[in-house]
Amino acid sequence: MPRGLEALTIVIEHRDPTIHSSETRVVAGKVSKGSSEATIDGVEHTSEPEPASTVRQRHSWSGDVLLMHWEKTEQSVTYISDIRQRLQEQGKVLIMSEHYREPGLERVRDWVFEKE
């Protein structure tokens, strides 16, 4: 997450094989919103969301764990995120584990979200 994150709300709608997520972030007092939709089919999907930018992503199941691979290349710089998502406590808690890489930075982090 960006440095200075003050709040994060994620809404996930899952109806296999489609997953839709939207998020609202507050960073340094500034609110930003985004959303995405993907198909959980194990196939790499490629898009060009803006000039000189390519996004490759793949979503698949490994038992009850959702695996997501996301890779964005902008002007020969590549950013990579691998995320494992799983539900616990009868679906009331979402655990997300991410391994993120970009030139000069690598981080591993876990997030725990409680359903409201």
103 upstream amide cis, omega within 30 of 0: no
For 28-78, what is each residue's pLDDT tens digit?
A: 889 999 999 999 999 999 999 889 899 999 999 999 999 999 999 998 999
pLDDT recorded at residue 116: 76
Tokens of 36: 């995405």
pLDDT recorded at residue 1: 45
In terms of Cα–Cα distance, which of 12, 4, 2, 35 is closest to 95? 12
pLDDT recorded at residue 83: 96
Q: Are strands 105-114 and 5-15 parallel, antiparallel or unpaired?
A: unpaired
Q: How confident is the model at residue 3 (pLDDT cuts 50, 70, 90)?
A: low
Residue 107 has pLDDT above 80, yes or no: yes
- Tell me which DSSP letter residue 42 carries: S
Q: Domains in the chain, start-ordered, CATH in brackets?
A: 5-114 (2.40.128.20)
For 11-26, what is each residue's pLDDT tens digit?
A: 999 999 999 999 999 9
d(CA 3, CA 35): 20
